[in-house]
Chain A
Amino acid sequence: MRHIFKYSFISFLLIVLQATIMHLVTLEEITPDILAIWVVYLALSEGQLHATIWGFAIGLCFDLVTGNFIGLSALTKTMTGFVAGYFFNETRTRLTLGSYRFLLIVLLASLIQNTAYFIIFTRGTDIGLFQAVVRFGLTTTLYTGTLSLIPIFKFSRQSLM
């Protein structure tokens, strides 16, 4: 119960951060997705079922906050939580969070999420499928993966101490 409040609060802060601040670090129209990192963290901490539900809830809240495309982030963040949940190991959570494995999981989950997101998001425009996947999906994934190094450093230092 305590975790729910904590996770809800952090989720709310990150949603606001993603919606308001993150565009400041946008490079060539590519914005890193801190919510994806957060959902992967939840998946590795709480398991697949919880991460799937959290992913949906966070994505839906983000859609409602931005009013951009209701349901799209809910769908893709649900996928992120579900995919990342496959790597849940209760006994190795801290080790995973503080190692390169976290980066790889973020990259994999983020790649799936962004591919789905941009394929849908770019429909009805001149942007083709390949461009949507490579130009937006892959680069956003790499940018998000880069950002995921921050929690890796944090958790690796904690595990050292």
Chain B
Amino acid sequence: MQRLLNIIRFFKEYFVLGLLVIISLLLLSSNNNRQVRAIRSFTVGFVGAIQQALSVVPNVLELKNENAVLRQLNVNLSDEVSRLRDARLENLRLRTMLGLKERSPFHVLAADVVAKNLYLLRNTITLNVGEADGVKPDMPIISESGLVGKVITTSSHYAVGQLMFNRDFRASAKVLRSGVDGIIGWNGEDIVHLRNVGKKQDVQRGDIVVTSEYSNLFPRGIRIGVVSGTSEKPGSLLKDIEITPAANFTTLEQVFVVLVNPDPERVSLEQKTLSR
């Protein structure tokens, strides 16, 4: 402090000059005549020119802050883009499903797939609809592409569905073009097989396969898939027909439960006949 006072004392003339000049300039700036306006105008232009010249020199601190803000903005926008993309895909999927629902002659109930089990011989999915929604065991499950499987167990608000890719799954099916029928079953591959078809039956690669009217569980005409290959085993009377399912089980997110019940009279009669 003493040192500062000494410095001020030593340079007192300059300090006084500076102070008085500042006071004079403040007094000058309080005028509003043409001279002061001209000087203000010149000063603004001069300072602007200097600022423009200095603007080429990057302000590191400002750039750092700006960079941080832009990075945060980038993260936010990326997140938003991702969510919008998901929403768009969901929208497209739901639109397709809505179209199916409108076209479908059956009463269907939309459901979300809340769990999947695709790594076993008995693959299943869990749906967020249950008995409270009118879902019962053996009801077919379909997607916008085609048959998915059927309900095997239910609780109040959930249902477990058996996929076509399940060793226990069976469905009566027919080739749409020729009317050749058989039974759909799965052997653990990425395809299903149409069984019980004679060697001389007319089945060709590319034929569409749908559920047949012989089924007690599935309404007729639900698309199952397309014939992707046929082969004959020596010594066998039957053909081996490979069918690529229409539904993609790995990307299933929304499905429909077809609200149909098997005709009890028919079931009763068929069971009675079989028991004889």
B13 contacts which of A48, A75, A122 (Cβ < 8 Å)? A48
Whether a CB of chain B sits under 8 angstroms from the CB of A70 is yes
A-B contact count (CB 8 A): 68
- Contact call B13/A125, Cβ cutoff below 8 A: no
What number of B residues sit within 8 Å (CB to CB) of A? 22
- Contact call A75/B38, Cβ cutoff below 8 A: no
- Contact call A124/B37, Cβ cutoff below 8 A: yes
Q: Which B residues are CB-close (under 8 A) to A56?
A: 20, 23-24
- Contact call A74/B24, Cβ cutoff below 8 A: yes
- Contact call B13/A120, Cβ cutoff below 8 A: no
Known pairs A71-B28, A71-B30, A75-B25; A124 contacts B12 (CB<8 A)? no
Q: Which A residues are CB-close (under 8 A) to B20?
A: 52-53, 56, 74, 78
Q: Which A residues are CB-close (under 8 A) to B29?
A: 71
Chain A interface residue number, banded: 20 to 34
Known pairs A53-B20, A75-B24, A75-B28; A69 contacts B35 (CB<8 A)? yes
Question: Closest approach, in angstroms, between the C-beta of A86 and any C-beta of chain B?
Answer: 9
Whether a CB of chain A sits under 8 angstroms from the CB of B52 is no
- Contact call B37/A71, Cβ cutoff below 8 A: no
Determine the residue in chain B with the shortest Cβ distance to A121.
B35
Whether a CB of chain A sits under 8 angstroms from the CB of B27 is yes
Q: Which B residues are CB-close (under 8 A) to A82?
A: 13, 17
Whether a CB of chain B sits under 8 angstroms from the CB of A15 is no
- Contact call A69/B31, Cβ cutoff below 8 A: yes
- Contact call B27/A123, Cβ cutoff below 8 A: no
B interface residues, Cβ below 8 angstroms from A? 12-13, 16-17, 20-21, 23-31, 33-35, 37-39, 42
User: Can you give 14 A-B contacts (C-beta < 8 A)?
Assistant: A53-B16, A56-B20, A56-B24, A59-B24, A63-B27, A71-B25, A71-B26, A75-B21, A78-B20, A120-B28, A120-B35, A123-B42, A124-B33, A124-B38
